[in-house]
Chain A
Amino acid sequence: MNRTSDLKKLASKNSIYIVLIFLIVVVTIASPKFLTIGNIINIFTTESIKGLLALGVAFCILSKGIDLSLGSIVALSAVVSASLIQDPTYSAQMFKGLDMPIGIGLPVAIIAGILAGTIFGVVNGALIAYTKIPPFIATLGSMVVARGLAMLYTNAYPIPMLKKPFKTVGQGNILGIPNLLIILIIFAIFAWFLLNHTKFGKNVYAIGGNDVAARVAGIKVKKNIILVYTWSSFCAAVAGVLLAARTGSGIATLGLNYELDAIAAATIGGVSHNGGVGRIGGVIAGILILGVVNNGLLLLGVSPYIQQIVKGLIIVGAVVFDMRKNAKTA
């Protein structure tokens, strides 16, 4: 009796992983091409950009907020970093004659791109913390502004012909593992560490759980909110630089609607929109579920319209399931 209830507990606590494994089994049976090394690496590289965004937005959702500006920040960081590392032999170079030696140019381009995006997070956080406008509205505003800035900066022209070493950052691999995946793993470990082993992490849970109680308990709510949005935009900024490197050009339309996929991944992964509940492991599983579904439906040759319907059903299903679970344990 006791054993079975323990097993039940374990299953319901880790239901998300069970769903993931189950999906992998189903897709593998349906398409023998699925479990090949090439395909698995392909899933990871494709999902790693959105995965970074999901790791960022998970913190916002945990603190009972949301960040809609991530996709636009991806574009802004991509165009800023791309513009500083174009090949000077390209006739339509954005900054004519700009040619920093790679030892200086590479870090400058990467850091400038990351900074351009991260600034938005500081502004988002400050807006939400000090003016008390809902995060949805604040980040909706910065989403439009960041996209506009990216357009203005590039005049809506793409910025192609980037130097090789920069592209290697996004296209290369170490011992067969794509750089993108390595960076995602590093970020996942760091995010896990932040949430579980730092005061900041505890504060995020506390604020999401009950911000009034958190304030009474002496937590600096405003400061932590700013940190949360800075972190999420930092993730998006890194993703933007990597996306420019991976695709070999910075374009102002990059990352359109990526924030929605990131929110979907975090939601499927069990991060509750009521705040204060969620784990990084779940977020990663959420990303992988979306990745497996995308890739599986692709391999099976399912029409993209059906794919969208399936994705929507999964998101809603996951939340319904999750709420039942939390209602039971509460």
Chain B
Amino acid sequence: MKKFLALLFTCILTGSLLAGCGGKTTTTGNEGNSGQEGGKIKIGLTMSSRDQFLSTLETAVKDAAKDYSDVEIVAFDAENDIQKQLSHISSFVSQDCGAIIVNLVNTDTSEEILKAAGDVPVVFVNRLPNEKILEDSSNASYVGSDEYEAGQLQAKFLTDYFKDKSDKTINYVLFMGTLGLQHTNARSKAVKATLEENGFTLVKQFEDTAEFDRAKAMAKMQQFIGTGKPFDVVIGNNDEMALGAVEALKSANKLDVPVVGIDATANAIAAIEAEEMACSVFQDASGQGAGAFDFAYKMAKGEEVDKYGWIPFQVVSLDNIEDFK
């Protein structure tokens, strides 16, 4: 009996290991056969996690690789664990990858990532590493969008929206993303600074973090509405928080106040169409993925690339909603 159990147990293990091989999703090639290195360039990709946006980005990298017969993408998910990401890098190096695409779990670990990568060129994507370290490194580059621009575009839309406002004062509510992240800071700073540059006086009615989370934003918005303070606009560092605020506004019958977000997720597009949200800002995940692959492929072949590959943001509102569905 014992022996039988031991046997069963090891069978389960082997079975699952081998079944895993069958579930291979990471190799891309024209005929889709599994990773035989027949003179192929391997490009490693380590994602910080897999939400909708990042999955789109990852798919774009793989799709871009399909146009070349001599490339294979090896994609891992670090599940938001810095240690895992570092071990992915070491693993790529020992698998002789020609280049590595990194979507940083934490932007402060860029130095350690580069150290682990050694001589293998690194393309950071979507999350900007420490810029000094990036610029000092001879074989690292960045592909992404300028987060500051996202906030600027929100402000540009609001400037238009409030152009007939007589007193040029805006009472604002701002939901910030997770504190301490670079894009939280850039988006918040940009939207405020640009509105002020455009001649508005900003009055802070409520400014707090909801950690990019819909439920947290909704709870805080409900509490804020309960205070009865006046507000002209709700600004979110991302769509999820903007949608959370929309939920709270719905139950308080205050949907006439414009709510702006960033990301242009499917939910946000639907909310803009239903005129619950005023606008969002589209961050081009596919563009970033394709751009990152392009950089990595060139670097693996030893070609020169720019330090930065900027992929522009776009405003999404009722006027151009058809382009984003």
A299 and B95 within 8 A (CB): yes
Residue with the highest number of chain A CB atoms closer than 10 Å, among B12, B13, B86: B13
Contacts of A39 in B (CB 8 A): 91, 94
A46 and B20 within 8 A (CB): no
A321 and B9 within 8 A (CB): yes
A22 and B130 within 8 A (CB): no
Known A155-B179, A246-B86; judge A36-B14 contact (CB<8 A): no
- Confirm or deny: A309 has a beta carbon within 8 angstroms of a beta carbon on chain B: yes
A26 and B14 within 8 A (CB): yes
Chain A: interface size category: 35 or more
Among residues of B, the one whose C-beta sits closest to the C-beta of A328 is B2
B76 and A247 within 8 A (CB): no
Known A300-B21, A301-B74; judge A158-B87 contact (CB<8 A): no
The secondary-structure label for the interface of chain A is helix
- Confirm or deny: B251 has a beta carbon within 8 angstroms of a beta carbon on chain A: no
- Confirm or deny: A81 has a beta carbon within 8 angstroms of a beta carbon on chain B: no
Could you say which of A135-143, A185-193, A204-212, A248-256 contacts chain B? A248-256
B16 and A158 within 8 A (CB): no
Could you say which of B22-30, B270-278, B287-295 contacts chain A? B22-30
Known A301-B26, A301-B35, A324-B2; judge A23-B90 contact (CB<8 A): no
- Confirm or deny: B119 has a beta carbon within 8 angstroms of a beta carbon on chain A: no
- Confirm or deny: A171 has a beta carbon within 8 angstroms of a beta carbon on chain B: yes
Known A38-B93, A246-B86, A321-B6; judge A19-B13 contact (CB<8 A): yes
CB distance from A177 to the nearest CB of B (A): 15
Could you say which of B106-114, B259-267, B299-307 contacts chain A? B106-114
Among residues of A, the one whose C-beta sits closest to the C-beta of B96 is A33
Residue with the highest number of chain A CB atoms closer than 10 Å, among B93, B108, B109: B108
Q: Which residues, 54 to 109 on B, are CB-close (under 8 Å) to A?
A: 74-77, 79-84, 86-88, 90-91, 93-95, 106, 108-109
A42 and B90 within 8 A (CB): yes
C-alpha gap A299/B3 in the complex (Å):
30
Could you say which of A55-63, A112-120, A310-318 contacts chain B? A310-318
C-alpha gap A292/B178 in the complex (Å):
34
B17 and A299 within 8 A (CB): no
C-alpha gap A171/B83 in the complex (Å):
12
Known A42-B91, A46-B84, A310-B20; judge A251-B13 contact (CB<8 A): no
Contact of A297 among B2, B10, B20 (CB under 8 A): B20
Contact of B83 among A246, A309, A321 (CB under 8 A): A246
C-alpha gap A243/B81 in the complex (Å):
11
Contact of B109 among A19, A249, A295 (CB under 8 A): A249
B180 and A19 within 8 A (CB): no
Q: Interface residues of B, CB < 8 Å — how many?
A: 52
Among residues of B, the one whose C-beta sits closest to the C-beta of A257 is B81
Contacts of B24 in A (CB 8 A): 300-302
Number of A-B contacts (CB under 8 A): 144
Contacts of A22 in B (CB 8 A): 10, 13-14
Contacts of B40 in A (CB 8 A): none
A297 and B91 within 8 A (CB): no
Contacts of A318 in B (CB 8 A): 9
Contacts of B10 in A (CB 8 A): 19, 22
B23 and A306 within 8 A (CB): yes
Contact of A247 among B6, B83, B180 (CB under 8 A): B83
CB distance from A23 to the nearest CB of B (A): 6
- Confirm or deny: A27 has a beta carbon within 8 angstroms of a beta carbon on chain B: yes
B111 and A324 within 8 A (CB): no
CB distance from B83 to the nearest CB of A (A): 6
Given contacts A251-B108, A297-B17, A304-B50, 6 further A-B contacts (CB under 8 A): A38-B94, A49-B83, A247-B112, A253-B80, A295-B91, A303-B23
| 8 nearest CB pairs, A to B | A302-B20, A160-B108, A157-B180, A46-B87, A38-B94, A301-B26, A249-B108, A42-B90
A-B contact pairs, 27 of them (CB 8 A): A12-B2, A19-B13, A27-B17, A30-B18, A42-B91, A45-B87, A46-B84, A157-B180, A158-B108, A246-B112, A247-B106, A247-B112, A249-B106, A254-B82, A300-B17, A300-B20, A301-B25, A301-B26, A301-B34, A301-B35, A303-B20, A303-B26, A306-B20, A310-B17, A310-B20, A318-B9, A320-B9
Show the binding face of B for A, using Cβ within 8 Å.
1-3, 5-6, 9-10, 12-14, 16-21, 23-27, 34-35, 50, 74-77, 79-84, 86-88, 90-91, 93-95, 106, 108-109, 111-112, 115, 130, 178-180
Show the binding face of A for B, using Cβ within 8 Å.
8, 11-12, 15, 18-19, 22-23, 26-27, 30, 33, 36, 38-39, 42, 45-46, 49, 154-158, 160-161, 171, 243, 246-249, 251, 253-254, 256, 293, 295-304, 306-307, 309-310, 313-314, 317-318, 320-321, 324-325, 328
